[in-house]
Amino acid sequence: MKTRIGFGFDVHKLVEGRELWLGGIRIEHTLGLLGHSDADVLIHALCDALLGAANMRDIGFHFPDTANEYKNIDSKILLKKTVELIREKGFSIGNADITVCAERPKLNPHIPLMQKTLSECMGIDLEDISIKATTTEKLGFTGREEGISAYAVVLLEK
């Protein structure tokens, strides 16, 4: 059996007039993330980690932000397509470990639903998805509540 590790990172700016989508769920907040799609920074980092582990470039290569077909798309669709791509190459997902950096809103109450949603999208056990939330202690763009970032690490098996 061959195992491969992938790492993903993404960041999006917080703005007024947009819904906040993280981990495939809508979270009530006064600001939302700006992007071509729904700007779900958690899912985008996860897709990059999956694609990286499979040596298949990145989310922008497969789902470019210049393509109208991806305008305002639900990132869960991108995740499902990403999982299909890596499975076509013979990989299965061992586990995913994700960290989201945001000052507000508090994300801990939403983590179980995010895990359930990602588990269903990816076709893997809930126990194989770890999601953590942290702040940057009011430092940097995240601390100033200008944006949210996410980091993801995955293990693939072939």
Domain ranges of the chain: 3-157
**Is the model's pLDDT at 21 over the cut of 90?**
yes
Q: Does the pLDDT at position 1 exceed 90?
A: no
Known binding residue 44? Answer is yes
Contact by Cβ (8 Å): 45, 98: yes
State yes or no: 30 annotated in a binding site: no
Q: Which residues of 116-150 are buried (b: 16+ CB within 10 A; e: fewer)?
A: ebbbebbebeeebbebebeeeeeeeebeeeebbbb
Q: Is 137 annotated as a binding residue?
A: yes
pLDDT recorded at residue 22? 98
Domain 3-157 bears CATH identifier 3.30.1330.50 = yes
Q: Which residues of 7-16 are buried (b: 16+ CB within 10 A; e: fewer)?
A: ebebbbebee
Helix axes 75-88, 41-53, angle to 10 degrees: 10
What does the pLDDT average to over 11-22?
A: 98
The verdict on whether residue 40 carries a ligand-binding annotation is no
- 72-113 pLDDT, tens per residue? 999 999 999 999 999 999 999 999 999 999 999 999 999 999
What pLDDT, on the 0 to 100 scale, is given for residue 142? 94
Arithmetic mean of pLDDT, 122-135: 97
pLDDT of 78: 98
Q: Please provide the average confidence, as pLDDT, over all residues in the chain.
A: 97
Is 4 annotated in a binding site? The answer is no
Predicted local distance difference test score (pLDDT) of residue 119: 98
62 marked as binding residue: no
Whether residue 58 has pLDDT greater than 90: yes
pLDDT, mean of residues 10-16:
98
Is 59 a known ligand-binding residue?
Answer: yes
- Pick the range with the lowest mean pLDDT from 40-49, 59-68, 149-158: 59-68
120 labeled binding residue: no
61 is in an annotated binding site: no
